[in-house]
Amino acid sequence: MVESDPSCSRPGELIRISSPHIRLTVVAVALSALIIILFVALPPFTLLGKADVVGYAVCHRIPERSFELGDRYFPLCARCTGTFLGAMLGLVAALLRRRRASRLPPVTVLGVLVFFVVLWAFDGLNSYLTLFPGAPHLYEPQNWLRLTTGMLNGLALVLLVLPIANFTLWREVTSEPVLKNLGELLTILPVAVLLIGVLVIGIRPLLVPLALISSLGVVVMLTLINAILATVALGREGTARTGWEALVPLSVGLGMALAEIMAMALLRAYLTMRLSLPF
């Protein structure tokens, strides 16, 4: 049973969706279903192959900046692996606490989350500068640093996006922040440290699952953001009362996410051949 706050129910007993929006919804769902089918049906046919497509679309995948996975590398670089593992970790933690929370964290927690993003950006800039011989940089980049700052950034991103998605999607939401205080944030960090340790040490039985989850995190984050846009475009703000009713904007968001991934992968492949890029 989902806890709800009557004060956060949308006004009016019946929310009507106009006929043009209904027609647009049918078209959007049909196109999304086609895109999802194409993504599943087209090669590569393995889960790691699909994960590689996702990684190829959004990440540079420079080998020396990626973790090894047997005789191959992770679908995403160390920084992106951390970012989207962190996003998945934050999403699970938030949904387990209060899954329809519609408010951003309090200022103290927001400050820490912004600091996480700043750390990620700072380490990314320092790492980027090392691509240019002789360019000044403060310290030598390390994959464990890329992973760690990425993990913190991913936590921050999902904890900012999820309450916006909840407020946009659901008819009834809880008038609570997604995280209430720093203590709740601190309970997530030990799991993040554990995941970082598994990847840095290279505990083999867990590497493939974590590689797949990180790539899934890309799809989930894009789906959430696109679902917000789709909900507004289809005139369905605050109409979903059950999981089944939420499937419409979420499926459209998923279709949009996969379309974006395939388009970016094709564009990268074209530019790589055209410009003879090294990766």
**Of 19-28, 57-66, 106-115, 190-199, where does mean pLDDT reach its minimum?**
19-28
Largest CA distance in the chain: 66
Report whether pLDDT(276) > 80: no
Give the tens place of pLDDT for each residue, 121-162: 999 999 999 888 888 888 999 999 999 999 999 999 999 999
What percent of the chain is predicted at pLDDT more than 70? 92
pLDDT for residue 43 is more than 90:
yes
Q: Tell me the CA distances in angstroms from 248 to 57, 111, 230, 240, 252, one per residue in order.
A: 25, 34, 9, 9, 6
Q: Quote the tokens at residue 30.
A: 């049909």
**What tokens were used for 105?**
């964290």
Q: Band of the pLDDT at 12, cuts 50, 70, 90? A: very low
Measured in degrees and rounded to the nearest 5, phi and psi for residue 9 equal -75, 150
- Residue 259's domain comprises 20-242+253-274
pLDDT band, very low/low/confident/very high, at 221 (cuts 50, 70, 90): very high
Percent of the chain with pLDDT over 90: 78
Residues 6+ apart with CB under 8 A from 159: 90, 94, 105, 113, 178, 179
Q: What is the pLDDT of residue 9?
A: 56
Residues 222-256: tens digit of each pLDDT: 999 999 999 999 888 999 999 888 999 999 999 99
Total domains in the chain come to 1
Average pLDDT over residues 72-97: 96
Q: Given a cut of 70, is residue 48 above it in pLDDT?
A: yes
What does each C-alpha distance from 26 to 176, 241, 249 come to in angstroms? 33, 19, 11
For residue 225, give both structure tokens: 């953001």
Q: Does residue 161 belong to any structural domain of this protein?
A: yes
| Cβ neighbourhood burial of 66 (10 Å; 0-12, 13-18, 19+) | buried
d(CA 42, CA 39): 6
Is pLDDT above 80 for 278?
no
Question: Which pair of tokens denotes residue 73?
Answer: 């590398």
- CA 153 centroid distance within chain: 11
pTM, 2 dp: 0.90
Mean pLDDT of the chain: 91
174: CB partners within 8 A, 6+ apart: 3, 4, 5, 8, 98, 100, 101, 102
Q: For residue 271, what are its two tokens?
A: 């530019």
Residue 234: inside a domain, yes or no?
A: yes
**How many Å apart are CA 170 and CA 14, to the nearest integer?**
14
Residue 247 lies in a domain: no
- Output b/e per residue, 133-158; b: 16+ Cβ within 10 A: eeeeeeeebebebbbbbbbbbbbbbb
Is the residue at 8 inside a domain? no
Asked whether the bond before 75 is cis by omega within 30 degrees of 0, the reply is no
| Predicted pLDDT of residue 40 | 95
User: Is 13 part of any domain?
Assistant: no
Q: Tell me, what amino acid is at 169?
A: L
Which residues, in sequence order, are CB contacts of 149 under 8 Å at separation 6+?
79, 82, 116, 119, 120, 122, 123, 124
The verdict on residue 5 lying in a domain is no
Q: Would you say residue 229 lies in a domain? A: yes
pLDDT at position 131:
87
Nearest to 217 by CA among 76, 78, 40, 18: 76
So what's the pLDDT on residue 7? 46
Instruction: DSSP for 86-136, please give it.
Output: HHHHHHHHHHHHHTTEEEPPPHHHHHHHHHHHHHHHHHHHHHHHTTSTT--
The reply to whether 133 falls in a domain is yes
